[in-house]
């Protein structure tokens, strides 16, 4: 039975934090954490690595339970993302040892390929439209745009028109046969989102994501339920939720949204995301995991998509590339190097389910070292309103 010899954080440009786990027999498994809180998360990954030395790669649930519950203070985004990275790396190793993809160990496939989409990049309607044209030239059949800038609690006519202009430009550019989703990124209050959804509905949207900022309160649940039932566009949320209770309150007993978006690198890893998908399936809502970081996170999300009946579509940022790139206004991706030896490929809007053992990824570690001058762990943007007060990013 293989045991863990070492586990350590690996920085990967542009700002991703990977977890490299090696067993006593030399096998290497990979996980990925959320890197927005770089110093804290990196320290947590390395500390976690010391605690799991000697643990069996087969006792995944036991190891995660002990790590999560053996401290008086539990949970929190830093510990949650570190544990998530470890969990997916252990599944990667277990699959390698057993010679099977992770989804085969979790019940097998319910589909042969996974539909994917990515965000568009731009600073004005024309650039967003050009980015959309580039995306569909890469065989994508669905895209997502974030049209909202800093938005006051009661949205102005001008701010609302700016959102409409972006969405209209993208819809005109891609035509009616491409699915177009809108991400409001929690930048709007419930009052502002009501007006925004009404104004954007004529553009035949696939879904609207995070129409208002989730705060876990009963009033937030009530706002989402009202938004869902008052208009025809599907409502999506979930990337900021971490606890099973938070997901349960959004899904059961009566769903307040149409699409749930857990992040495999935050909610506890692969098994937790599948469990959230099971709740979604029971409630007849869809699963569309959040995935805005590197290809390890995407690879783990693909294993979930393979075996979860509720899965609808998969977000991605990188299918294998790393370093400078990611997204240019008005364009597409232009990564500096390939992190994966065999990047994922899109064909007619879909990516084939991996069939190799574990996550079925081969990391080119030497390429990371060659490009570490591109490491740029910048924090998220900080926005403000014209009066200087804080605006949601």
Residue 349 falls in which region: left (phi positive, over 0), alpha (psi -120 to 50) or beta: left
Phi, psi of 296 (to 5 degrees): -70, -45
Q: Is residue 290 annotated as part of the catalytic site, yes or no?
A: yes
Q: Which residues pair with 28 in a beta bridge?
A: 22
> What is the longest distance spanned by two Cα atoms in the chain?
64
Q: Which of 250, 290, 311, 371 is catalytic?
A: 290
d(CA 289, CA 301) in angstroms, rounded, equals 7
Q: Which of 185, 245, 378, 390 is catalytic?
A: 185
Q: Which residues pair with 182 in a beta bridge?
A: 145, 208
d(CA 353, CA 365) in angstroms, rounded, equals 24
d(CA 155, CA 298) in angstroms, rounded, equals 35
Q: Are strands 259-260 and 321-322 parallel, antiparallel or unpaired?
A: unpaired
Q: Is residue 103 annotated as part of the catalytic site, yes or no?
A: no
Residue 118 falls in which region: left (phi positive, over 0), alpha (psi -120 to 50) or beta: beta
Using alpha carbons, select from 210, 189, 188, 194 the residue that is nearest to residue 144: 210
d(CA 353, CA 364) in angstroms, rounded, equals 21
User: What SS3 state is found at 265?
Assistant: coil
d(CA 120, CA 328) in angstroms, rounded, equals 9
Q: Are strands 142-145 and 179-183 parallel, antiparallel or unpaired?
A: parallel
d(CA 340, CA 365) in angstroms, rounded, equals 9
Q: What angle do CA 170, 174, 175 make, to 5 degrees?
A: 110
Cα torsion 372, 378, 380, 385: sign: negative
d(CA 9, CA 247) in angstroms, rounded, equals 29
d(CA 245, CA 174) in angstroms, rounded, equals 39
| Residue numbers annotated as active site | 185, 290
């Amino acid at each position: 039975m293989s045991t863990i010899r070492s586990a350590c954080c690996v920085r990967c440009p542009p700002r991703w934090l990977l977890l490299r786990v090696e067993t006593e027999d030399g096998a290497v498994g990979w996980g990925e954490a959320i890197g927005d809180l770089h110093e804290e998360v990196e320290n947590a990954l390395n500390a976690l690595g010391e605690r799991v030395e000697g643990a069996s790669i087969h006792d995944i649930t036991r190891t995660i339970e002990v790590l999560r519950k053996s401290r008086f203070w539990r949970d929190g985004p830093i510990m949650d993302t570190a544990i998530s990275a470890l969990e997916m790396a252990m599944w990667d190793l277990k699959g390698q040892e057993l010679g099977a993809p992770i989804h085969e160990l979790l019940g097998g496939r319910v589909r042969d390929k996974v539909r994917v989409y990515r965000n568009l990049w731009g600073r004005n309607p024309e650039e967003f439209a050009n980015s959309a044209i580039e995306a569909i030239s890469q065989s994508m059949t669905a895209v997502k745009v974030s049209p909202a800038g800093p938005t006051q609690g009661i949205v102005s006519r001008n701010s609302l028109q700016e959102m409409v202009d972006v969405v209209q430009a993208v819809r005109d550019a891609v035509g009616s046969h491409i699915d177009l989703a809108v991400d409001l990124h929690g930048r709007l209050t419930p009052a502002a989102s009501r007006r925004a959804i009404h104004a954007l509905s004529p553009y035949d949207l696939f879904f609207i994501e995070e129409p208002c900022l989730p705060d876990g309160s009963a009033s937030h649940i009530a706002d989402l339920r009202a938004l869902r039932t008052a208009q025809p566009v599907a409502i999506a949320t979930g990337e900021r939720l971490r606890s099973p209770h938070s997901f349960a309150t959004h899904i059961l007993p009566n769903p307040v949204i149409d699409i749930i978006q857990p992040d495999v690198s935050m909610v506890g890893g692969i098994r937790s995301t599948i469990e959230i998908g099971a709740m979604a399936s029971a409630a007849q809502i869809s699963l569309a995991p959040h995935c805005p970081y590197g290809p390890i996170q995407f690879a783990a999300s693909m294993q979930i998509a393979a075996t979860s009946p509720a899965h609808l579509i998969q977000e991605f940022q990188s299918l294998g590339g790393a370093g400078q790139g990611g997204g240019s206004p008005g364009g597409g991706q232009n990564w500096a190097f390939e992190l994966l030896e065999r990047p994922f490929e899109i064909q007619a809007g879909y990516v084939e389910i991996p069939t190799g053992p574990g996550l079925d990824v081969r990391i080119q570690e030497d390429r990371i070292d060659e490009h570490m001058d591109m490491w740029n762990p910048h924090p998220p943007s900080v926005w403000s309103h014209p009066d200087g007060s804080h605006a949601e990013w």
